[in-house]
Structure 1
């Protein structure tokens, strides 16, 4: 594995620095770990965060109107992790559009979208990290 991407629901998880720590765990360069987040409603305050999408960035046909999101989805990640609970119409669409080689989700995610579902809660990042490392090693992705 040389590149790792995360699609994150900001309602669930905001500490993106913990996700960048995955670079140390998997022996990657920090620049090779990318995080893209979804927020249901755009904040009124200006933000410098460019790797973010919200429900207004989708048209009525479900097409993505956010250039940064399109670029993220075009990246050929070795592993993409969907960090959100259950089925989520916007994040599920992003996962389905991703060019990632291997997609990993959490227990209640749509199994048609992922190559691997790990049966832990999204709140339990340490257990998820250990399980991900175990399966990525077993599947010869590292």
Structure 2
């Protein structure tokens, strides 16, 4: 029962955040880059920092934050990770590091996950990022650009993102 209430609250929170989204800075150039990653799907985070460097960014301008769905609340020493247990029944995030990550006004945020996921959708909708990139199968309302590329092929993913960032005059 509580799980269904939590899922309903996550959907309502996502809807509310979509209505309140500020799109005025959508056309700014790329100076900061954020990645929101489903850790069960992908766990090579160094690739994302290298990709940011390829785009001409320094390490301090690239942030990676991960989500992992757990059955039990397992303590973690990682500061850039959130679990489904860190969302309360009202759909609010109780992890302060996640809140700080989502409040940061990234020029580009890439949601690196497959399909529709309530927790990831709530985080992407809450993000203050100016331009959001996602992958096919995700909720199209959350993102400014959806890519139809295979996330398991990093070289292809990198080329697609670079191509569109150039097309949108971000780089």
- Please indicate the TM-score interval, normalised by the length of the shorter structure: over 0.9
Match of 2:59 in 1: 30
Distance in 1 between residues matched to 2:100 and 2:50, nearest whole Å: 23
1:88-135 CA distance string (max 9 Å, x none):
110110000000000000111110000000101221221111010010
Match of 1:74 in 2: 103
Shift of 1:31: 1.2
Unaligned runs of 5+ in 1: none
Q: 2:164 pairs with 102, 111, 135, which one?
A: 135
Q: Is the 8 A contact 2:73 2:85 kept in 1?
A: no
Distance in 1 between residues matched to 2:73 and 2:125, nearest whole Å: 26
Q: Is the 8 A contact 2:133 2:144 kept in 1?
A: yes
Match of 1:115 in 2: 144
Question: What TM-score does the superposition give when structure 2 sets the normalisation length?
Answer: 0.79
RMSD across aligned positions (CA)? 1.2
Structure with the bigger RCO (C-alpha within 8 Å, sep 6+) is 2
Shift in CA distance, 138/121, structure 1 to aligned 2, threshold 3 Å: same
Structure 1's consecutive aligned runs of 4 or more residues displaced over 4 angstroms after TM superposition are none
Distance in 1 between residues matched to 2:53 and 2:63, nearest whole Å: 14
Match of 1:6 in 2: 35
Unaligned runs of 5+ in 2: 1-29
Match of 2:87 in 1: 58
Match of 2:122 in 1: 93
Match of 1:84 in 2: 113
More helix by share: 2
Distance in 1 between residues matched to 2:134 and 2:154, nearest whole Å: 12
Shift of 1:48: 2.8
Does residue 90 of structure 2 align to residue 49 of structure 1?
no
Question: What TM-score does the superposition give when structure 1 sets the normalisation length?
Answer: 0.95
